[in-house]
Amino acid sequence: MTTTPVSTRRQQTRDRLLAAAAELFAERSVQAASVEEICERAGFTRGAFYSNFESKDELCLALLEARGQQFLEGTRRALAAIPDSVLTEHTLAEVIAKALAVFDASLALDTRWMLVRNELRLYAYRNPELREVLSAAERKVFSLAVEAIASALQRQNARSLIPVDQLMVILDAYYERSRMNDALTGRPEVDAEWRSGIERILRALVVLPEPEPTRD
């Protein structure tokens, strides 16, 4: 059941449907995007849809799982792409800037996904099954990111003024809100005000330890 062998053709149509759905979810919202519209955008009819998914809900599930994987891989790649030397040889500010640049390039940190994520979060709130999957996916990415921050701090011999997981929540929430504000006011994506905002937060909340170590 869970391990249905999928042919290449089938996988391609699934992918196209998922891509079209993501686009339309961002453009018109999860609920407003009709199955018909999704199929049309993907170049299929509803026959293809119902042959691949049981319902729009199930497509959301698949979308979430696919994206979750992409995110995890993207994060890992992004982390691996930061050479060790950066963490030890540069100033905190430089590390922060570098990390932001790498993450931005490697993950799909675009406005579209910000919108879809927001949409799905609200949609999942009303759908127990989807809610489980979403929570699980976000938890995974979240804990990976927290680990990354924590280990980076350790290497720099720096510490955060607040618990690292809360710091992560703040960064995520701030990023999303900034992007949303930009989207609402029609600010072009290239302006990227969120980037400097996050740098400012990190500079304020991450500090080098006191001269005298308080250890024990």
Partner DNA sequence: ATCCTTCGATACAGTGCCGTATCGAAGGAT
Partner DNA sequence: ATCCTTCGATACGGCACTGTATCGAAGGAT
* Positions that interact with DNA (CB under 7 A): 6-10, 12-13, 34-37, 39, 43-48, 50-52, 55-56
Q: Is 31 in the site for a second copy (CB under 8 A)?
A: yes
Stretch that binds a second copy, among 16-24, 52-60, 119-127, 147-155 (CB under 8 A): 119-127
Residue 134: name its binding partner from a second copy, DNA, none (Cβ under 5 to 8 Å by kind): a second copy
Bridge partners for 206 per DSSP: 160
State the minimum distance, in angstroms, from the CB of residue 173 to a second copy. 4
Pick the stretch among 7-15, 46-54, 70-78, 118-126 that binds a second copy (CB under 8 A).
Answer: 118-126
Can residue 34 be called a binding residue for a second copy (CB under 8 A)? no
- Taking CB under 8 A as the rule, does residue 162 contact a second copy? yes
Task: State in angstroms the smallest separation of the CB of 204 from a second copy.
Answer: 4
CA distances to 57, 106, 126, 128, 168 from 76, rounded to whole Å, are 29, 10, 31, 29, 17
C-alpha closest to that of 133 among 212, 68, 36:
68
Q: Which of DNA, a second copy, none interacts with 154 (beta carbon under 5 to 8 A by kind)?
A: none
Cβ pair 4, 18 in contact under 8 A: no
| Distance in Å, CB of 114 to DNA, minimum | 24
Residue 125 makes contact with a second copy by CB under 8 A: yes
Residue (16 or 68) nearer to a second copy, CB:
68
Query: How far is Cα 37 from Cα 82, in angstroms, rounded to an integer?
Result: 41
Question: What's the min distance (Å) between Cβ of 60 and DNA?
Answer: 12
Q: Does 197 bind a second copy (CB under 8 A)?
A: yes
Helix, strand or coil for residue 130? helix
Contact 117, 178 (CB under 8 A): no
Least Å distance, CB 70 to DNA, is: 22
- Measure Cα distances from 166 to 149, 169, 172 in Å: 12, 5, 10
CA–CA dist 126, 3 (Å, integer): 28
| Amino acid in position 56 | K
